[in-house]
Amino acid sequence: MTGKMDSNAAVHPQHPKRLVFAPGDIKGPEVDGDEPASSAVRMAASHLAEDITRSDTSTPTSAMQQELLSHPARAHQFTINPPLHVSHLHPTNPLHQFHKWFMDPRLPRSSAPETCTLATASLPSGRVSARMLYFKELDERGWVIYSNWGSKEGKGEQIFGSKYRASADGTMPGDMHDSAALNQGNRWAALTFFWSLVERQVRIEGIIEPLSREESEMYWRTRERHSQIGAWTSWQSKVLWSVNSEESLNNPDLEDGRSDLENRAKEIESRFAGVKDIPLPPFWGGIRVVPESVEFWQGRPGRLHDRFRYVREEAGHSAKTSTWRIERLSP
């Protein structure tokens, strides 16, 4: 197993064969009547709180414990899906196995199956951070995601190193793709997908490979204009507002920094008002997670889940040309 990037791919970017390209934005939840979707979400979120009463000090009572144990929202019991056998797996390629699961007709597009968690860590502290994203492409090298890599305080510094320079407010002029070429950050990362409808999880661990500017541009042109405006607007991870714990938050008219964000969006809209093709921001682009291991997890009764992991044994120029070992893991 190797922790080094394929430098050949970084210097001479190619266009691997795509299995999935730009799943696209997902339409919000639909509700009956004229009720706003946000109101429906709030009602759903408060359902458990309404059903389960707590004492003034939030100390559980025996009655509460009984209700928790019988409530349908308690820990899910994995009973509705068939087992995963090794004969169900692609014999040589975890990317093709992922594609098979991703395209499962039981996963409606409205459930946003492309939602995943990206986890990275800072060096030398080892401090880990994670956030939810949409993966947009699957090709023969790995999983591709696009994002605003923001300031040094965001994931940009973790991935691209302390010399990373590129920010929306111009305080750090530079370009994500130039900083990525320095190869001074922590390129190890993990992606996790969880599809509750089919009781499945996929865990990917591997090396981040920055996309070329050309590749980032190609996807950027597929984005809707308001999403492009939003990308230029955001100063990723910059603090817009803060409050001390002693100050009251009960004032409904309290200015919390949202207006600053909206005003900047208006400035960006005015800036590009006469521009047909909004340019790619210097702090925005794509990365590919080239896998070293890929685990396929199927929920089973009694928490005796089926877990199979592909482990790269011999690195090639793509996952397609690599040799993989398949292991069953204990749940």
The ranges assigned to domains in the chain are 39-328
pLDDT at 21: 84
What is the per-residue pLDDT for 324?
Answer: 95
- State the Cα–Cα distance between residues 207 and 120, nearest whole angstrom: 10
pLDDT at 82: 87
- pTM (2 decimals)? 0.76
How many Å apart are CA 155 and CA 161, to the nearest integer? 10
Task: Report the chain (331 residues): mean pLDDT per 10 consecutive residues.
Answer: 41 68 59 46 42 43 60 68 91 95 91 93 86 92 89 64 61 64 78 94 94 92 91 76 68 76 89 93 91 96 92 69 91 93
pLDDT at 14: 59
Radius of gyration of the chain (CA): 23
- How far lies 71's CA from each of 48, 51, 64, 76, 211, in Å? 9, 9, 10, 11, 47
Q: Which CATH class is domain 39-328?
A: mainly beta
